[in-house]
Structure 1
Amino acid sequence: MTGHTRIAVIGVGNAFRRDDGVGHAVVAALEARARQRPLPPGTVLTACDGDPARLIGLWAEAQLAVVVDAAHAHPAHPGRVHRIELDAEHLERPPTTSSHGLGLGEAVELARVLGRLPRRLVVYAVECAETTLGEELSATVAAVVEPLAADVEAEIVRHRDAAARG
């Protein structure tokens, strides 16, 4: 780890299952934004399939981990974004919010048990409409990608500013 605060942004999902790829799309949008306005040093942007072991490895030693994933909800409101903040010191067993069978919920629980949670974990769960085969996001989910990328960028900047204040 460098002298800079490490921030991990992880887009979870399967880009070949339509809205399940929203996490990947947000990471791609952040990469494009970073070409114009670099993110703070120590920020790592990654896409992941949601495997618990990979997630734990990606957020290892992070002061802040931001995870973007698709979620199923009943009743569904496609495109609705839920922000969930988990504090490693006050964490209870979370419900699974992923659109995958195994994934984020299990990764958080396993990391908690192993003492491998990031200091702060923020999850943005986007309610999805379509998870059939295909690469295109539904219109309602595609519409939240840029605003959500802006929210994640603001989350990173707030964290950086708070870390600088010490």
Structure 2
Amino acid sequence: MKERTRIAVVGVGNDYRHDDGVGWAVVGRLRERAAARPLPPGTALATCDGDPGRLISLWEHAELALIVDAAHTHPGSPGRVHRIELDSARLAQPPTTSSHGLGLGEAVELARVLDRLPGRLVVYAVEGADCSLGTGLSHAVAEAVGPLVESVELDIVRHRDAAARG
């Protein structure tokens, strides 16, 4: 029997569109750190291009889903991280689509309609500077990766500790 995913960490984006690859960079760093400091059992690390069906399949049975994605803001402050905890309140529809075609908001709404939301959903949105074709993060976004990895790990520990008490 497959172990149930209790915590899903999903890096959303495209590693070939500069800062849009920040979610993939965070998941990559988490994988590296997990080799020395294992994550709690039932924690899954994944990357996704943002397709709503794939996102839903990655988080649908999780108690906690942590999503890391690039935010496209104009004007923006590249490297600034927004932590958004989504609850049962309906998300406002964004005025434009993301670089993924359909955005995270649409995936959440679809999951809500299908009753496939995780128990708790936390989104880390990182303001980007450059989403043109190419690899590598801008300096400001690359500088945000380390602290963001620590924030995600802290969310995982908090969840684990609350589950142990609970």
Same fold (TM over 0.5): yes
Question: Aligned equivalents of 1:136 and 1:5: distance in 2?
Answer: 30
Deviations 1:117-165 (A, max 9, x none): 0000000000000001111100000001111011101100000100111
- Given that 2:80 and 2:127 are in contact with CA atoms closer than 8 Å, whether structure 1 keeps it comes out as yes
Which residue of structure 1 aligns with residue 164 of structure 2? 164
Displacement of 1:93? 2.6
Tell me, in whole angstroms, the C-alpha distance in 2 between the residues paired with 1:95 and 1:32. Answer: 35
Tell me which residue corresponds to 1:144: 144
- With structure 1 as the length reference, what TM-score do the two structures score? 0.93
Q: Name the % identity.
A: 68
Mark the runs of 5 or more structure 1 residues left unpaired by the alignment. Answer: none
Secondary structure of residue in 2 paired with 1:85: strand
Residue 59 of structure 1 is matched in structure 2 by 59
- Measured in 1, the distance between the counterparts of 2:34 and 2:98 equals 27
When residues 19 and 60 of structure 1 are mapped into structure 2, their CA distance, relative to the original with a 3 A threshold, is same
TM-score, normalised by the number of residues in structure 2:
0.93
Q: What is the RMSD computed on CA atoms of the aligned residues?
A: 1.5
Q: Which runs of 5+ in 2 are unaligned?
A: none
Partner of 1:93: 91
Q: Contact between 2:5 and 2:44, CA under 8 Å: does it hold in 1?
A: no
Query: Cα 1:66–1:94, aligned 2, differ >3 Å: closer, same or farther?
Result: farther
Counterpart residue type for residue 155 of structure 2:
E
* Partner of residue 79, structure 1: 79
The 8 Å contact of residues 91 and 109 in structure 2, kept in 1 or not, is answered as yes
* Letter paired with 1:61: H
Matched, 1:28 2:28: yes
* Aligned twin of 1:108: 108
How many residues are treated as equivalent by the alignment? 163
